[in-house]
Amino acid sequence: MKKTCEEKLALARKLSSPEGFIDEYQKRLFSYPRNVDAYWSVEEDFFYLFGRNRYSCYQSFHTILRRVVKRNRTR
């Protein structure tokens, strides 16, 4: 699916923060059979937009995910 420049810019803004990356990951969970596949789909978009990966691997991402979820629960 082709994305417009505006859609790419909006996605880049969203993925630039850990919370936005996690939000996009959670939205994609229902479209993929495994959590790791949803993660890699977001990571591929991040690489396309920024030319590098945001996280080194799924385990690294999962560590950040747990921290953000735990921080949001205590608020």
Mean pLDDT of each 10-residue bin along the chain, 75 residues long: 85 94 96 96 96 96 91 79
Helix (H, G, I), strand (E, B) or coil at 69: helix
| Cα separation, 30 vs 50, whole angstroms | 25
| Cα separation, 33 vs 55, whole angstroms | 21
Q: How many domains does the chain have?
A: 1
What is the reported pLDDT for 32?
97
Residues 29 and 72 sit within 8 Å (Cβ to Cβ): no
What is the reported pLDDT for 69?
85
What is the reported pLDDT for 71?
86
Task: Count the helices and strands in the chain (H runs, E runs).
Answer: 4, 0
Full residue range of the structural domain in which residue 51 is found: 5-73
